[in-house]
Structure 1
Amino acid sequence: MKDAYERRALLLHLGDVLETVNRLMTCNADRQTVREVVAANDSLEGLPLLLQISPSMTTRDFVEHACAAFDSWPKALLELELDREYLARTVREALFAGNAQGWQAYVATLREAVAWFGTGLETIEEIQPGEAAASGDTDEPEPLARDAQMARPHAADIERDDGDRSPASRESVESDPRLYPSWPWKSGG
């Protein structure tokens, strides 16, 4: 049962991130750093993620990197087996590359709801701005191999179709008690 509540906490966190992105975008300050925008807008106070990212990150960069960090979370959170390392790694690589202190603050905040978040990952190596260009790294996060795997359709996605195209013949995966049996709304068949 604990797994269901951890997944719920991560979904709520994803909602908070989306709200943060939306509120930041309404400020129409693409070229300013996030810290400058937060300092100028009282409506952004109380959003810890904006203070945990790199101080030099612009609002446009934050929106792009946040989307890259969390775009695969909904599907990953619906997988039968939760890949904890993958969830943390996507965020770390997209939003916190070269920002070990911000990553540690982010993990500490999220661990209040999900105790295992960020465990088992190697530490972030601080990359100096000149070193990233020399090593061939770009500002864009590298695509993860798991993203490609998760993008492939699965046989059990959304509905089952046994070849008969009539709506009555299709069965929703939601009605299958074998999938996600620990989720609170799955009790009692």
Structure 2
Amino acid sequence: MNPQLQDRLNQIPEKLLSEAFLESQGLGNELGFWIFDHPPEDELQVREYLVFLVNLLQKKHSHLKVVHINLLQALKDYLDGRNFTEKAIQMQKSKGDKALLKAIAGPLHMDKFAPYLMQQIDIENQDVVLISGVGSVWPVLRAHNLLNKLHALLGHKPLVLFYPGAYSGQSLTLFNKIPSNNYYRAFKLVP
């Protein structure tokens, strides 16, 4: 267990429960998008903490509607619902990764996938959105593309992206190795 990471994780509930976070106050009229970056090698610790966090919030703060989206599960459900999963597996086996990525680029375009996510989580009845699984779905889905599309769909509901890598305050570097080459504006949840 990474004790420094655990210290940062332990600060999350207080942050999520603050009025400033829930109302996106003090953000200069920007959307309340937050990133919790963490060492990729500690992904399992973060996953375990997310289970604890969601349970804690449901039990002790049931007035707050918090939804956790695991992108890998959401992607699988999305592909299953469109009968693409088996076809995708067969294509990857027969034609390889590049052919698969090209074939599913259309169905997984953010104009289709992001609205699907919002519908699945019943966004109108949520107060906070937590997203994890970014590393599990790369390179099929890219975090900055998803966040950019969600800006228009979430309104002022706060969102926290748990990110296995580094966030500089302007750019994302997945696994601390793969730069996004895109400017992205969000706030660090816990520095």
Q: TM-score, normalised by structure 2?
A: 0.29
Larger Rg: 1
Higher relative contact order (CA closer than 8 Å, sequence separation 6+): 2
Q: Which protein is richer in strand relative to its size? A: 2
